[in-house]
Structure 1
Amino acid sequence: MQTNYFAAIDLKSFYAAVECIDRGLDMFSTPLVVCDESRGDGTIVLAVSPCLRNKGVPSRLRKYELPKDEDIIFAKPRMGRYLEVSAKFNALLLDYVGDDDLHIYSVDECFINLGPYLKMYQTSPRTLVKTILTDIYETFGLVASAGIGPNMFLAKVAMDIEAKHAPDNIATWTYADVESKLWPITPLSKLWGIASGYERKLNNLGIMCVGDLAAYPKAKLKHHFGVMGVQLWEHAHGIDQTNIREKYTPTSTSLSQGQTLFRDYTKKEAQLLIREMNDDLARRLRARKCQAAGVSISVIYADRSKKADGGSLTLMRPSTHNNELYEAIMNIYAKKIKNLPIRGLYISYTNLSEHTHYQFDLFSNHEQKLSELSLYAMIDKIKYKYGLNSLMRASSLCSASNARKRHDEIGGHAR
């Protein structure tokens, strides 16, 4: 008898739905898109209402690709509002299950371990999920879809492939459905976990659908893709060993920050942006009580036919010092980056370790270094208490600067 039941829940057209609800509009009859139209025709549309989705408008496109014959409402992204609603949505779910049995996958999607609660509620997986979806709608006005399965993978695929088109927005898959429902899926990129890059590589091996993937020798997939190949084979057979109660602890030894620019910057102008990004990243580094032993930078040129440039550098000793980290990045920048218009900047600190002390060298002014580190610590405290724009470099007033604007955004969009 099956005892493991998982649900994957997704809020339909979440950003667009929130904008419609806040305006008192019906998302199924209102042609609304979440897009900052002030950024020009090339700006990305973050979400479209179900009304437009039902007319064939994709969920991800650029403004100039929107249909011209629709009287579309443009809603400027409000990331703070979406995070607020998402937090309330997650709190509602915790009325039904414990924290250990809830996995937040994204701002509008989650997984729930249903198994431990079926006896307590004396109900079936489908009835419990339907109760949760009804509560979500009655509380927030949001429509959600859900997939139910014996593991997280099958629940997610059931939601993506079937539930979003089901009359009650719920689909249940079991291991018995693998051959009839999972294996026919094509193209492969429709399957959770397979991006376009992997799809091309699999297609080159003659693997066009999930059934082909299931039939391909496991050892050969491991040879081509390593541990990912084993996971692909297991997923193709409906196998997922993930334990929702084993919470992921990040093991990353790097910190990074990047931005896509809305105009061309000269190589000289971009130095100011790198300085600002470095200040923000150094503050985050110190907040984590870490130090960096390496830095890297990558630059995207305005002319996309030009290959991105960049490089990395190992420091003589780990550091948390803004200027030391910036000078290392600029060392790469001066040597590796061409004098061409720039549209993207990405910097990283690498080989992070716990910061317990500062290591001086024989040639530095130790008193000056200590004074600067104390200054950075004080600036960090002020920014933490009063906000990132409370204390800025004078260069933030320059026309090329965008630090103040970035600090007022979440994920590159207005709060």
Structure 2
Amino acid sequence: MSTGPADTGNVYLCIDLKCFYASVECADRGLDPFRTNLVVADSCRGKGTICLAITPAMKALGVRNRCRVFEIPKSVDFIECRPHMRRYMEESAEIYGIYLRYFSPEDIHVYSVDECFIDVTGYLRLYGETPVSMAKKLMAIIRRERHICATAGVGTNLFLAKVALDVLAKREPDGIGWLDEETFRRRVWHHRPLTDIWGIGPGTARRLERYGALDLAGVTRVNEELLYGAFGVNAEYLIDHAWGREPCTMVDIHAFRPQTHSISNGQVLMQDYPSEQARIVLREMADASCLDLVQKDVACTGVALWVGYSCAEEGPAGASASRRLGAPTDSRTGLCQLLLALWDEVADPTRSVRRLGVALTGLVPAGVSQPSLFDDGAALAREHELTRATIAVKGRFGKNALVRGTSFRPGSTGRARNEQVGGHLG
């Protein structure tokens, strides 16, 4: 294949660790993921649970990635592994350490546990490599040292590197795709479906279809005013990407600071919960969010609550409510009481609950928070000291070293969730 974009201008790699969770499980067992049928899933949650990963061997049999356990054909024999999220994070850190041997942290952006971007612009001449040969060497080192197969996209901007990975790399014998703007128009402009393109989901694709845009070439033919009318400021990204343009650089990514912040906490319950038990779980979630608030040394200016009812019951799918606060606060007691009051206000006590979410919104530095004339300043100070002490105990002895009594009541999930990483046992 070609050596890819010339080593002039910006060049980026986007490296993906293939079927990462399943590959880690195979590596730990000394198995070849290209010859082993293995699924990472926790079927104790039910046969409807989603497979977090499957091996390339299972994909070759036509098994769909992210399928549910019951959707795997009965004729396929496979090994099922419960997710080990801490192990995957450890392995991801080991592979990040490989990148750090050759590149500065300022030139690396970790996009997810199994994917990262690297700006190799200033390294090609240093190492005497082309972009593709650089990708090959990194992939070979990862395979040799960590027994994980990787694929890579090479592009003259971040977007092209990602599209080269997602659309082209899987079709190349060496697992490397590359794009510059000219090659992009030749190889990707007419690619369908649009949902294969980074940043275009099913909803966006359906809306674009109304304007006759079934691929990126079609997007370039749509009147820009129509796009801005339909997508607002997001139309700018669609237009740039349709032409293969991406102004964002690695420097921009590392310099980015979000204008708004929030702390959110959500969970899908293992079974339908009666309203009174769901309220207990909400109390635990609110308390955990408040501890996180104080640990980050911030206060919030609003709260929000989401309730999702059992899909087996008739009626609305859920309920939600939010409140803005008169002043920023990090009061554990006050915020928990407010979230429970929202629950009592909007939750239907006759409905079973399956999903819950809370958010503390509009975060500001904790020093901004000032008690009002109606607050007991001394009581707030004592509460804050107690919260800090709770955080210290949990940090030293584990999250379950100190829990509220409600976490021992029937239906509570707090203690079990304290042992999990990413919603699964570590």
Is the 2:40–2:51 contact (alpha carbons within 8 Å) kept by the matching residues of 1? Answer: yes
Match of 1:102 among 98, 101, 108: 108
Aligned counterpart, 1:385: 396
Please give the alpha-carbon distance, in whole angstroms, between the structure 1 residues aligned to 2:374 and 2:179. Answer: 67
Please give the alpha-carbon distance, in whole angstroms, between the structure 2 residues aligned to 1:409 and 1:191. Answer: 33
Aligned counterpart, 2:340: 330
Matches for 1:36-115 after TM superposition, within 5 Å: 36-115=42-121
Match of 2:307 among 278, 293, 299: 299
Q: 1:329 Cα shift?
A: 1.1
Please give the alpha-carbon distance, in whole angstroms, between the structure 1 residues aligned to 2:302 and 2:135. Answer: 48
Is the 1:152–1:240 contact (alpha carbons within 8 Å) kept by the matching residues of 2? Answer: yes
Instruction: Quote the sequence identity (%).
Output: 34
Please give the alpha-carbon distance, in whole angstroms, between the structure 2 residues aligned to 1:289 and 1:139. Answer: 40
Please give the alpha-carbon distance, in whole angstroms, between the structure 1 residues aligned to 2:40 and 2:305. Answer: 31
Give secondary structure in 2 for the equivalent of 1:224.
Answer: helix
Please give the alpha-carbon distance, in whole angstroms, between the structure 1 residues aligned to 2:400 and 2:258. Answer: 29
Task: Summarize the Cα distance change of 1:101–1:359 in structure 2 as closer, same or farther, 3 Å threshold.
Answer: closer
Q: 1:356 Cα shift?
A: 1.3
Aligned counterpart, 1:372: 383
Q: 1:364 Cα shift?
A: 4.4
Please give the alpha-carbon distance, in whole angstroms, between the structure 2 residues aligned to 1:251 and 1:284. Answer: 20
Matches for 1:178-327 after TM superposition, within 5 Å: 178-246=184-252, 247=254, 248-303=256-311, 306-327=316-337
The range that moved more, 212-221 or 382-391, is 212-221
Q: 1:366 Cα shift?
A: 4.2
Task: Summarize the Cα distance change of 1:410–1:252 in structure 2 as closer, same or farther, 3 Å threshold.
Answer: farther
Give secondary structure in 2 for the equivalent of 1:314.
Answer: strand
Is the 1:296–1:313 contact (alpha carbons within 8 Å) kept by the matching residues of 2? Answer: yes
Give secondary structure in 2 for the equivalent of 1:71.
Answer: coil
- How many residue pairs align between the two structures? 415
Structure 1: where are the runs of 5+ without partners?
Answer: none
Is the 2:195–2:202 contact (alpha carbons within 8 Å) kept by the matching residues of 1? Answer: yes
Q: 1:367 Cα shift?
A: 3.6
Q: 1:282 Cα shift?
A: 0.6
Q: Which amino acid aligns with 1:249?
A: R
Q: 1:358 Cα shift?
A: 5.2
Please give the alpha-carbon distance, in whole angstroms, between the structure 2 residues aligned to 1:174 and 1:294. Answer: 45
Is the 1:303–1:341 contact (alpha carbons within 8 Å) kept by the matching residues of 2? Answer: no
Q: Which amino acid aligns with 1:327?
A: Q
Please give the alpha-carbon distance, in whole angstroms, between the structure 1 residues aligned to 2:18 and 2:397. Answer: 36
Aligned counterpart, 2:3: none
Give secondary structure in 1 for the equivalent of 2:250.
Answer: coil
Structure 2: where are the runs of 5+ without partners?
Answer: 1-5
Task: Summarize the Cα distance change of 1:250–1:139 in structure 2 as closer, same or farther, 3 Å threshold.
Answer: farther
Q: Which amino acid aligns with 2:422?
A: G
Give secondary structure in 1 for the equivalent of 2:212.
Answer: coil
Q: 1:146 Cα shift?
A: 0.6
Question: Per-residue displacement from partner, 1:384-415 (whole Å, max 9, x unpaired)?
Answer: 22221110112211221111110111110111
Match of 1:342 among 353, 367, 370: 353
Q: 1:66 Cα shift?
A: 1.3
TM-score (norm 2): 0.94
Please give the alpha-carbon distance, in whole angstroms, between the structure 1 residues aligned to 2:31 and 2:259. Answer: 44
Q: 1:352 Cα shift?
A: 1.5
Q: 1:223 Cα shift?
A: 2.2
Q: Which amino acid aligns with 1:349?
A: L
Q: Which amino acid aligns with 1:288?
A: K
Give secondary structure in 2 for the equivalent of 1:44.
Answer: coil
TM-score (norm 1): 0.96
